[in-house]
Chains A and B, each alone.
Chain A
Amino acid sequence: MIWQLDIVILVLVVICAIAAISVKDLLGSAVLLGAYSFLMCLLWTGMGAVDVAFTEAAVGAGISTAFFIAAIYQTTRRTRD
Chain B
Amino acid sequence: MKLFAFLAVVLTGAALIYSTFDMPDWGDTTSPANAHVSPRYIEQTLNETATPNAVTSVLADYRGFDTLGETTVIFTAAIVCIMLLRTRTDD
- Interface residue? B26 (CB, 8 A): yes
Q: Are A47 and B55 in contact (CB under 8 A)?
A: no
- Interface residue? A51 (CB, 8 A): yes
Nearest B residue to A49 by beta-carbon distance? B55
Which B residues are CB-close (under 8 A) to A47?
A: 26
Nearest B residue to A48 by beta-carbon distance? B27
Q: Are A51 and B26 in contact (CB under 8 A)?
A: no
From B53, B55, B56, name the one whose CB has the most chain A CB atoms within 10 angstroms: B55
Which B residues are CB-close (under 8 A) to A1?
A: 26
From 39 to 54 in chain A, residues with beta carbon under 8 angstroms from any chain B beta carbon are: 47, 51
Q: Residues 1-26 of chain A: 1 if any B CB is under 8 Å from the residue's CB, otherwise 0?
A: 10000000000000000000000000
A52 to B53, CA, bound (A): 13
Nearest B residue to A51 by beta-carbon distance? B55
Nearest B residue to A52 by beta-carbon distance? B55
Nearest A residue to B54 by beta-carbon distance? A51
A47 to B53, CA, bound (A): 17
Residues of B with Cβ closer than 8 Å to A? 26, 53, 55-56
Cross-chain pairs A/B with CB under 8 angstroms, 5 sampled: A1-B26, A47-B26, A51-B53, A51-B55, A51-B56
3 residue pairs, one from A and one from B, having the closest CB atoms: A51-B55, A47-B26, A1-B26
